[in-house]
Amino acid sequence: MGDGETVDMKRNATHARGMSTTKTPTAKTRLVAVYCRCSTDEQAASGLGLESQRARCLAYVEALGLAGDGVEVRVFVDAGYSAGNVNRPALQELQALMSARRVSALVVAKVDRLSRRLRDLLALVDTMNARGVAFHCVSERIDTSTAMGRAMLSMLGTFAEFEREQVRERTRAAVAAKRARGLSHGFAPLGATSVQGRFEAVASEVAAVDLMIRRRAEGASLREIASELQAAGHQTKRGGQWRACTVDVVLRRVARDGKIAMVSDSRVGEVGA
């Protein structure tokens, strides 16, 4: 959800009477922004992690007295969004407010809630510095209003990106190991079907891949190959029509996985189109 939730940190007499203390934002009101994010749909649906982040950040804001007179605390939540990029509705809204110099401080529970890519993280920090926004991270005790805090943020951003790349490498290695053993991994590639956790050859699809490789080697264009596949009655993996871009995807997968010479082989675990 991209809308900010306004939180009143003061427990005044109105609150004591049980009435709402949510303030109506004005165009000139300065904000202390709390940003929360979780990456999976399951977490987003259940609220796991989000409420914990929110509670920790609000407690931090109150402990440090960041919300003074005339300052609102607003919570921004991106539920079900990855930290791999900055294309997130709540973060985009927050950036717009920072650009308008409406935000005095940004608080997150952990650095990776904001971004796992060092380039994106440093770009966000540059924006905050240029707009006079102090960045606070609860877990890592970072405060970019100090030189030490800025140095710590840069180092933690490097490690966050390192962790992200390690996950990618482990995933690629696991997929490669499954392919080598003929085990299925996600969707079955063109030329095979998954049966009880293993790939088994689909003769018609293997023939289609063979045709693509042979005709490409003979100099045929992608569009010509797509037309020939259609004329021969071959369908895509999803039962659709062949197009030049679809042929290109299949051939790139075969070339990437180094299986061009083995597509017709009975070792269906090595079919990689």
The residues that are catalytic are 39
HSE of 254 in the Cβ direction (CA atoms, 13 Å)? 25
Closest by Cα among 37, 66, 61, 63 to 49: 37
Which helix or strand (DSSP H or E) is residue 234 part of?
none
222-231 helix and 244-257 helix, angle to the nearest 10 degrees: 100
Distances (CA, A) of 193 to 198, 242, 270: 8, 19, 12
As a whole number of angstroms, the distance between CA 126 and CA 60 comes to 23
Residue 267 tokens, joined: 């070792």
Query: Please, is 147 exposed, middle or buried when counting C-beta atoms within 10 Å of its C-beta (0-12, 13-18, 19+)?
Result: exposed
Residue found by looking up tokens 């490690």 in the block: 159
Phi, psi of 103 (to 5 degrees): -105, 130
Comparing CA positions, the residue from 130, 126, 104 lying closest to residue 115 is 126
* Phi, psi dihedral angles at 127 (to 5 degrees): -60, -45
151-176 as b/e: b if 16+ CB within 10 A: ebbeebbeebbeebeeeeeeeeeeee
Q: How far is CA 132 from CA 16, 83, 105, 127, 273, in A?
A: 35, 24, 8, 9, 51
